């Protein structure tokens, strides 16, 4: 598996650390309902198909990346910098 | 006051020539990290003009005046090597002296690419990584900044890992030499 880092280019999987689902980018406000916090902390989809998750380019540029990939075909369709995403 | 003696990270280390490559300690002079404040890229470009430098694109290093070099090291971050930072950069970037934090090595001659191919999982052959390119990548398990220069490669690693980096590289040179001896 290889990821194309927007800054570093095509790199081997062992340079990256997996963090988890994209959900971690959508932290509820402190006063949000408990159900929102429950969902944020514990409830994850397990899709057969397109999914988006966070990876850290540890041995490269040290940026957080948002990776769009397919769990069925293993195709990686997009890699974006979390720091430059439009909220 | 006590007279302190500055020592290089590879003090006393002679170059190693083996396996078709030469590994040697490298003295780079001052190293400054320039981390741009948000939105200051254009202003920093202007401020760097007296050194004949711009801000390097990802994966690039630039040669400026009087031995000054600017090496891309991350998002909106670069290392100024071989020069002191200009006053004009104040307020545009976080500037920190990193000179004593790094150890630098030169790796050259025909097998230099073959040596790095065993330690760095990135294509560093000349057609993919020509002079003027720079990357951050793992040198085996160590974080490193690798520059392609006309004479080969320059490798920067954390000073605390200097001896390990040297060992890794010299060991690969020995492996390549052993393999060459087998196939004679
Ligand atoms: Zn990267």
Cβ–Cβ < 8 Å for B129, B141: no
Give A47 Cα–ligand 1 centroid separation in angstroms: 26
pLDDT at residue A85 is higher than 90 = no
Burial class (CB in 10 A: 0-12, 13-18, 19+), A55: buried
Q: What is the ipTM of this complex?
A: 0.87
Q: Report the CATH number of the A2-84 domain.
A: 3.30.2270.10
pLDDT (tens digit, 9 = 90+) per residue, A14-62? 999 999 999 999 999 999 999 999 999 999 999 999 999 999 999 999 9
The partner residue sitting opposite A59, judged by closest CB among B59, B75, B137, is: B137
Cα distance between residue B66 and residue B53, in whole Å: 11
Instruction: Give strand pairing partners of B139.
Output: B142
Question: How near does any CA of chain B get to the CA of A79, in Å?
Answer: 15
Whether the pLDDT of residue B76 is over 70: the answer is: yes
Asked if pLDDT for residue B143 goes beyond 90, the answer is: yes
Interfacial residues of B (vs A; Cβ cutoff 8 Å): 58-59, 74-75, 121-122, 135-138, 143
Q: What is the pLDDT of residue B32?
A: 97
* pLDDT, tens digit, 9 for 90 and up, residues B119-136: 999 999 999 999 999 999
Name the residue facing B75 among A11, A14, A61 (closest C-beta).
A61
Predicted local confidence at residue B1, as pLDDT: 80
pTM exceeds 0.90, yes or no: yes
Answer for the pair B31, B80: CB distance below 8 angstroms, yes or no: yes
State whether A63 and B75 contact (CB < 8 Å): yes
pLDDT at A65: 98
A15 CA → ligand 1 middle, Å: 9
Task: Verify whether the Cβ–Cβ distance B122 to A14 is below 8 Å.
Answer: no
Q: How confident is the model at residue B6 (pLDDT cuts 50, 70, 90)?
A: confident
Residues of B in contact with A61 (CB under 8 A): 58, 74-75, 136
pLDDT for residue A81 is more than 80: yes
Q: Are strands B93-97 and B102-108 parallel, antiparallel or unpaired?
A: unpaired
CB B31 within 8 A of CB B78: no
Tell me what pLDDT residue B39 has.
93
The whole-chain average pLDDT of chain B stands at 95
pLDDT in the model for residue B184 = 63
What local confidence, expressed as pLDDT, does residue A87 receive?
61
- Could you say which of A8, A63, A83 has the minimum Cβ distance to residue B59? A8
pLDDT, chain A, mean:
95
Query: For the purposes of burial, counting CB atoms within 10 Å of the CB of B95, is it exposed (0-12), middle (13-18) or buried (19 or more)?
Result: middle
How many A from CA of A83 to the centre of ligand 1? 12
Give percent of chain B above pLDDT 90. 92
Res B66 pLDDT > 70:
yes
Residues from chain B that touch A1, judged by Cβ atoms under 8 A, are none
């Amino acid at each position: 598996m290889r990821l194309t880092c927007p800054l570093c280019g095509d790199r081997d999987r062992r340079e990256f650390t997996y963090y988890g689902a994209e959900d971690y980018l959508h932290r509820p406000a402190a006063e949000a309902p408990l159900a929102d916090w429950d969902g944020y902390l514990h409830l994850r989809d397990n899709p057969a198909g397109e999914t988006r998750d966070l990876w850290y380019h540890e041995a490269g540029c040290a940026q957080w990346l948002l990776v769009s990939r397919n769990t069925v075909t293993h195709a990686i369709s997009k890699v974006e910098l979390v720091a430059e995403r439009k909220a | 006051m006590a007279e302190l003696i500055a020592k290089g990270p590879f003090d006393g280390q002679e170059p190693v020539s083996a396996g078709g490559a030469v590994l040697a300690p490298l003295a780079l002079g001052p190293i400054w990290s320039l981390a741009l404040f948000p939105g200051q890229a254009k202003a920093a470009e202007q401020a760097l003009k007296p050194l004949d430098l711009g801000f390097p694109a990802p994966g690039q290093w630039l040669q400026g005046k009087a031995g000054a070099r600017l090496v891309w090291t991350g998002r909106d971050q670069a290392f100024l090597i071989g020069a002191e930072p200009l006053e004009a950069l104040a307020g545009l970037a976080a500037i920190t002296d990193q000179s004593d934090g790094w150890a630098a090595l030169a790796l050259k001659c025909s097998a230099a690419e073959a040596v790095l191919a065993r330690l760095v999982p990135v294509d560093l052959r000349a057609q993919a990584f020509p002079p003027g390119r720079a990357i951050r990548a793992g040198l085996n398990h160590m974080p490193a900044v690798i520059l392609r220069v006309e004479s080969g490669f320059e490798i920067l690693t954390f000073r605390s890992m200097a001896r390990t980096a040297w060992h890794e590289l010299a060991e690969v040179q020995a492996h390549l030499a052993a393999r060459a001896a087998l196939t004679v």
